[in-house]
């Protein structure tokens, strides 16, 4: 059975360690900083076997070199369409990552939007999605397009509702704040905010989260909901014609007015 351990990094990043109940081995997801990973490996007495990268941003790849200095034989998986130093296993849409010593297998989805070549890893009831989908939010667009990001989120939305989503930032409370701008009368957001503060006050992350809950609270997955459409049209000062149009209005609004 899959086990996932969060390793906090920088101010709000999470690096994920994937293991199972039987093996003292781990795969490392998006190590932006080597130091906390090395400390966690020593504390847990774990041996790394691979690094899984979702995209090229420094806070996701910055620790690769030092990890390879400590563990020279690590395989480094990552997106074929991005320039990532030390990559040994370039991956595109439909590829498979078999971590045989862990007994775990993941399929790769190429989901442009946050970056042009962003990939995610899906398997074992879990999605490691980098900066594409966040709890109650989604990533910004860097070098790609809003259209790409919208369609990438729709692909994620088609996964089973019980999927556990492992994003890489602690943005949940902030994202709920924006969602309340969009849907001030959505009481489910209030409940979720309370749950998040209970977790944070107890020293726990607010992620992972169950994908199905996002359909009740994440405005970027609710662009077909009348209240969300109405808010987008109020902000844009015009009619919107498609859910993709609503999405674009909301993402631009968040970029310019909220963040």
Out of 59, 118, 148, 245, the active site residue is 59
Known catalytic residue at 93: no
Considering the candidates 33, 56, 114, 148, report the single residue annotated as catalytic.
114
Residue 118 is assigned to a ligand binding site: no
Which residue in 30, 33, 148, 169 is the catalytic one?
169
Consult the annotation and say whether 204 binds a ligand. Answer: no
Which of these, 183, 54, 176, lies nearest to 106 by C-alpha position? 54
> Which H helix or E strand runs over 20?
strand 13-20
Q: Is 131 a catalytic residue?
A: yes
**Burial of 8 by CB count in 10 Å (0-12 exposed, 13-18 middle, 19+ buried)?**
middle
201: annotated active-site residue: no
Cα-Cα-Cα-Cα torsion 195, 202, 163, 112, nearest 10 degrees, comes to 90
Residue 55, marked binder: yes
Of 30, 55, 56, 118, which is the active-site residue? 55
Instruction: Clarify whether 86 is annotated catalytic.
Output: no
Residue 59: active-site member? yes
55 is catalytic: yes
Q: What's the CA gap between 154 and 180, in Å, rounded?
A: 22
- Single out the catalytic residue among 56, 60, 118, 245: 60
How many C-beta neighbours within 10 Å does residue 62 have?
16
Catalytic residue among 30, 33, 57, 245: 57
Instruction: For residue 241, count other CB atoms closer than 10 A to its CB.
Output: 8
Known binding-site residue numbers? 55, 57, 59-60, 114, 131, 169
Known binding-site residue numbers for Zn(2+)? 55, 57, 59-60, 114, 131, 169
Which residues are catalytic, by number? 55, 57, 59-60, 114, 131, 169
């Amino acid at each position: 059975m899959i086990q996932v351990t969060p390793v906090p990094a920088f101010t709000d990043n999470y690096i994920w360690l994937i293991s199972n109940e039987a093996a003292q081995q781990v795969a490392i997801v998006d190590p932006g900083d080597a130091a906390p990973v090395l400390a966690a490996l020593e504390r847990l007495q774990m041996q790394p076997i691979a690094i899984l990268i979702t995209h090229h941003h420094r806070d996701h790849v910055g620790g690769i070199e030092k990890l390879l200095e400590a563990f020279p034989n690590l395989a480094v998986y990552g997106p074929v369409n991005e320039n990532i130093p030390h990559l040994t296993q370039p991956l595109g849409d439909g590829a498979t990552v078999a971590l045989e010593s862990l007994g775990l297998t993941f399929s790769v989805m190429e989901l442009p939007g946050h970056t042009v070549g962003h990939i995610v890893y899906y398997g074992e009831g879990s999605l490691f999605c980098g900066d594409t989908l966040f709890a109650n939010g989604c990533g910004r667009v860097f070098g790609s397009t809003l259209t790409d990001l919208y369609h990438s989120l729709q692909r994620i939305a088609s996964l089973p509702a019980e999927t556990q989503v492992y994003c890489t930032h602690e943005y949940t409370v902030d994202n709920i704040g924006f969602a309340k701008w969009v849907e001030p009368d959505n009481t489910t957001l209030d409940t979720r905010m309370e749950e998040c503060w209970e977790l944070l006050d107890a020293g726990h992350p607010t992620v992972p989260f169950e994908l199905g809950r996002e359909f009740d609270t994440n405005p970027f997955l609710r662009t077909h909901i009348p209240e969300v459409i109405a808010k987008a049209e109020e902000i844009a000062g015009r009619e919107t014609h498609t859910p993709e149009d609503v999405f674009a209005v909301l993402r631009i609004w968040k970029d310019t007015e909220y963040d």
